[in-house]
Structure 1
Amino acid sequence: MSKEVSFTDIDTFRKDLAEHPASAALARAVQNVGPYAASRDTLGKAAMAPVFSDEIDTGAVTNQKKSGRCWLFAELNTMRHFSSDKFGIKDLEFSQAYNAFYDRLEKSNLFLEHVIATADKPLTDREVADLLAAPNGDGGQYDNAAGLIAKYGLVPKSVMPETFNSSQTNEINASLELKLRKDAVELRQARAEGADEDQLRATKVDQLSTIYRMLAYAYGEPTKKFDFEYRDKDKQYHIDRDLTPQSFYKKYVGFDFDDYVTLASTNAPGKKYYQTYTIPAQNTVIEGQPVKAVNVPHDVFTELAVKQIQAGTTVWFGNDVLADMDRKSGTLEGGLYDLNGLFDVDFTMDKGERFATRQAEVSHAMVLTGVDLVDGTPRRWKVENSWGKDNGHDGYFVADAKWFDDYVYEVVIKKSLLPADVLAALDKEPIALPAWDPLA
């Protein structure tokens, strides 16, 4: 039987507080500025200087503004650096709105397919409840970006620029989720009244047509053909006419997504090293690139990120940017906020414990563009963010080794750099995880 908090307990708590050293001074600090500012380490230390032994030359940063498209920005950024160097186009930027349009359409389709597949289950079923909790958002994974680009191609940002809704997604998010939950009610009711799968899918197509119209209002309708004009680094003018998004991608980027593999690193209970995991519920592009990752020890994870930078290729990585981060200075420092010392409490958990308890969260994606090595060991990393040039060092952040060890959870690495045991793991049957698994 559960036991209440008694007034005797509270009297004990009061006595403990009164006896705690400097509690009055610490309380004033926390009440005035909050626990983070009261516990923050000194900024601007020499150890966090934006100087790196190995660095890839990249250009101006992008800005996702008030949207959750970091995963897409990070992937487009890795490709634009490649294309800018290849064709001599300074600060080439691809349209994030173009791919975001199709991302929302594909997510809507996946949601409605899941609704049809679970229409006979009660609303209290965990899978159904998890599905209805988040019908459509603008977050995603590396493989979602790869699937979208492989299917729909790319266009330059000049062809399909940002809109209010692509840069600030809360209103269109809420509108889509309202529509999709209403669609779920209609599909489930039709199933209860005896509709078969063909009839349900015919209804789904009608529903998607409305969603397409909503997206066209919000993002603009994607172009099917366009001309690409640019001046190269030598100021020479170029024009390429009658391109499609697919032909533009093939000519100006040409990435083979099969050459890249997502690596995760967690020692959470039940997660084995050198095992591939997949998350079917997040395969937003049906029949596209599935979301999967090979779980490896952290030292392998780190070594491969260094090798890829040294080979001249930037690294897409998933992380918890909200942990130990000072946004304005662009500081990502492990232990930046000493909450242990402030509250005299041991908050320490290893990565596996954080995943198991959902303290760990892949809240953001960015790009590694440099590393500073001392005797072959990473001391700090150069990080390209997508929050505009007014944060950090013209938009670039600096992460120390402890932050990388604690809060970097995924990296995308070229197959040619992978050791034999990681390649062997790719040949194993992936273990499918439910949508609510911590690794998701």
Structure 2
Amino acid sequence: MSQHNPQAVMTQEMIEQFRMSFESDPVNRLAQDAVTRVSVHTVALNHEAATGTDHTFSVMLPSNEATAQEKSGRCWLFSGLNTFRTEVMQRLDVDKFELSQSYLMFWDKLEKASYFLESILSTLSEPVDGRLLMHLLHHPLQDGGQWDMFCALVAKYGVVPKTVMPETESSGNSGVMNAVITAKLREYAADLRRMAATGDEEDVLRSRKEMMMGVIFRMLAIHLGTPPVEFFWQWRDKGGAFHRDGTITPQEFFGRYVGVDLENKVCLINCPTPDKPMNHLYTIGYLGNVIEAKGIRYLNTPIEVFKQAAIDMLVAGRPVWFGCDVGKFEERDLGILDPSIFEYDLVYGEGFMSDKAERILYGQSAMNHAMVLTGIDLDGDGHARKWRVENSWGDKLGDKGFMVMTDAWFDEYVYEVAVSRDYLPEGLAAVLREEPTVLPPWDPMGALAVAR
């Protein structure tokens, strides 16, 4: 800023006025004494909201033990697989069961690497310092994902029990693995662009890409183990009876023991910004993992439609995958999501007044975590009071890993729900057949569930 408006300068007189105003109010000094010694969330905690929240629900699906994604951003994979668990438990007649998250993590990383290199090949004419290339190079192999990316993996690779491909050090602590493979992918991006610039034809570039993918496979196998092509499956049910299915593929396991119709699921979003009309289909440019899959599809719906579809799913006994901004007004130890849980206005003298649309537009909020709705508390008129949430942060928080989300928090910070088409209002099914509007890769709705 070589030139500036004199009125824009922070003067000493102005700063002195701020100081005097602060020190003249004893409430400010009390807040300072408290917050300089303990977390502002401890000071601002709304005791009435915290003690008035219980873990009792009028509709509650069968529970399983909480899962733990550890130090990784695999919440979308954990929550997606957790929606399958009840079905598997019923078919196997067991009390507890967990599917392998590291199995899908392996294939997600491999597919993302291929998707990234294809994106590089399709943008060879773009400047390396342009916005698109900078976006593609930023996080080519991060842990996060979306519902449609989860479905693409399951449809192509199936699922396996956790005992078949258990956790490794890198699956639960993915930072180093991601860093070394990301470094290799950026190196490969430079290599492909350099080859193209010197005149190599597409067949040469693709041959080079295949070699690159062999290296990425090797790196992933070293960190995560080699995913099975088939495995031997047998188990005992909760009554002690022995069952043997023999040698089975991951795709066969999904068909026999999960059997969820993924094609019947649709991802609804609630994004009330003026640039995204309601009841319209959207996709995100350069976002995905499995290249041949249909890609990301979002149906933007009003909050009433969005919420009612989730309610109807739960009442029918079906868990709901959802994406939200988990860090806002979250009391993690108690497992409470409630916009009144912290009284910031009492600490700072002013609260936060932006609505959902404004927070999205100005970068204050976006979907960053995925969990599962497994219960709801309905009032006498069938309206939601609060929601039961299955998280993937272990069993030490909330009610043995389960959280309570108030309906007010749902309205403000839930952005996506994956529901069956059967629960959409008449007329919306036709919208799903329309060609989606392509949003830029950096659109807020392109955010990935990656919180840990």
Whether TM exceeds 0.5 here: the answer is yes
Which residue is 1:267 aligned to?
272
Q: 1:256 to 1:289 in 2, by over 3 A?
A: farther
Q: Is 1:410 aligned to 2:416, yes or no?
A: yes
Shift of 1:424: 2.8
Cα offset for 1:64? 0.7
The question of whether the paired residues in 2 share the 8 Å contact of 1:71 and 1:145 is answered with yes
Are positions 1:244 and 2:249 aligned together? Answer: yes
Listed as ranges, the matches of 1:344-355 within 5 Å are: 344-355=349-360
What's 1:383 paired with? 389
Q: Determine the C-alpha separation between the residues in 1 that align with 2:113 and 2:177.
A: 13
1:400 aligns with 2:406: yes
Asked if 2 retains the 8 angstrom alpha-carbon contact of 1:279 and 1:432, the reply is yes
* Contact 2:87/2:257 (8 A) holds in 1: no
CA displacement at 1:45 relative to structure 2: 4.4
Structure 2: distance between partners of 1:350 and 1:39:
21
- Residues 329 and 392 in structure 1, CA contact (< 8 A), matched pair in contact too: yes
2:208 maps to 1:200: no
AA matched with 1:57: P
- SS across alignment from 1:432: strand
Aligned residue in 1 for 2:235: 230
Say if 2:431 is the partner of 1:425. yes
Check conservation: 1:262, 1:412, Cα contact below 8 A.
yes
Query: 1:252/1:289 Cα in 2 relative to 1: closer, same or farther (>3 Å)?
Result: farther
Corresponding residue for residue 18 of structure 2: 13
**Residues 420 and 21 (structure 1), Cα distance of their counterparts in 2 relative to 1, 3 Å cut:** farther
Residue type matched to 1:177 in 2? T
Code of the residue aligned with 2:145 in structure 1: it is G
Q: Which runs of 5+ in 2 are unaligned?
A: 447-452
- Work out whether residues 319 and 374 of structure 2, in 8 Å CA contact, stay in contact via their aligned partners in 1: yes
The aligned amino acid for 1:249 is: F
Letter in 2 for 1:281: Y
Query: Which of 88, 96, 112 is matched with 1:91 structurally?
Result: 96
- Give the structure 2 partner of residue 436 of structure 1: 442
Q: Does 1:27 align with 2:27?
A: no
Q: 1:315 to 1:88 in 2, by over 3 A?
A: same
CA–CA separation in structure 1 for the residues paired with 2:9 and 2:427: 53
Q: Deviations over 1:67-109 (max 9, x none)?
A: 1000010010001112212331222211100110010000001
Residues 1:372 and 2:377 aligned together = yes
In the alignment, residue 51 of structure 1 is paired with which amino acid? Answer: T
Q: Does 1:56 align with 2:70?
A: no
Which residue of 2 is the match for residue 322 of structure 1? Answer: 327
| Change in 2 beyond 3 A, CA 1:403/1:378 | same
Is the 8 Å Cα contact of residues 329 and 340 (structure 2) preserved in structure 1?
Answer: yes
Please name the residue that 1:77 is paired with. Answer: 82
Give the match's secondary structure for 1:189: helix
Q: CA deviation at 1:429?
A: 1.9
Structure 1 residue 439 displacement after superposition = 1.3
Q: What code does the residue aligned with 1:262 have? A: C
How many Å apart are 1:16 and its aligned residue? 2.4
2:450 matched to which residue of 1? none
Superposed CA offset, 1:181-227 (max 9, x none): 11111111111111122211111111111110000000001111111
Worse-matched range after superposition: 43-52 or 334-343:
43-52
CA distance in 1 between counterparts of 2:340 and 2:412 reads 10
Q: Residues of 2 paired with 1:64 and 1:409: CA distance?
A: 21
The list of structure 1 runs, each at least 4 consecutive aligned residues, that deviate by more than 6 angstroms after superposition, is none
Give distance in 2, aligned partners of 1:372 and 1:139. Answer: 30
Whether contact under 8 Å (2:376, 2:388) holds in the other structure is yes
What TM-score do you get using the length of structure 1 for normalisation?
0.97
- Counterpart of 2:449 in structure 1 is none
Q: 2:45 matched to which residue of 1?
A: 40
How far residue 281 of structure 1 moved from its aligned partner, in angstroms, is 1.6
8 Å CA contact 1:144–1:289 kept in 2: the answer is no
Distance of 1:92 and 1:194 partners within structure 2: 54
Mapped to 2, the partners of 1:47 and 1:309 lie a distance apart of 24
SS at match of 1:239: strand
Q: Which residue of 2 aligns with 1:65?
A: 70
| Letter of the structure 2 residue corresponding to residue 143 of structure 1 | D
Amino acid at match of 1:135: P
- Asked whether the equivalents of residues 146 and 289 of structure 1 are also in contact (C-alpha less than 8 Å), the reply is no
Tell me if 1:290 matches 2:295: yes
Which residue number in structure 2 is paired with residue 102 of structure 1? 107
- Residue identity in the other structure for 1:353: E
Question: What TM-score do the two structures reach when normalised by structure 2?
Answer: 0.94
Q: Following TM superposition, by how much is the alpha carbon of 1:46 offset from its aligned partner in structure 2, in angstroms? A: 5.4
The CA deviation at 1:421 is: 3.2
Q: What runs of 5+ residues in structure 1 fail to find an aligned partner?
A: none
Alpha-carbon contact 2:28-2:348 (below 8 Å) kept: no
Distance in 2, matches of 1:323 and 1:116, equals 38
1:422 and 1:340 mapped to 2: Cα distance?
A: 41
- Superposed displacement of residue 356, structure 1: 0.6
Q: 1:309 aligns with which of 308, 314, 317?
A: 314
The answer on whether the counterparts of 1:225 and 1:242 sit within 8 Å (CA) in structure 2 is yes
Q: Distance in 2 between matches of 1:179 and 1:140?
A: 21
Q: How far did 1:367 drift? A: 0.3
C-alpha distance in structure 1 between counterparts of 2:134 and 2:51, whole Å:
49
Instruction: Render the CA deviation track for 1:82-139: whole Å, top value 9, x for unaligned.
Output: 2212331222211100110010000001111111111222122111011111111111
SS of match in other structure, 1:190: helix
DSSP-derived class of the 1:149 partner: helix
**Other structure's SS at 1:229 match:** strand
Which one-letter code corresponds to 2:398 in the other structure?
Answer: G
CA contact (8 A) 1:120 1:191 kept: no
Partner of 2:183: 178
What is the count of residue pairs matched by the alignment? 440
Tell me if the contact between 1:153 and 1:246 (Cα under 8 Å) persists in the aligned partners: yes
Alignment partners' CA distance in 2, 1:8 and 1:59: 62
Could you tell which deviates more after superposition, 416-425 or 159-168? 416-425
Counterpart code for 1:425: V
The letter of the residue matching 1:409 is Y
Return the alpha-carbon distance in structure 1 between the equivalents of residues 314 and 396 of structure 2.
Answer: 25
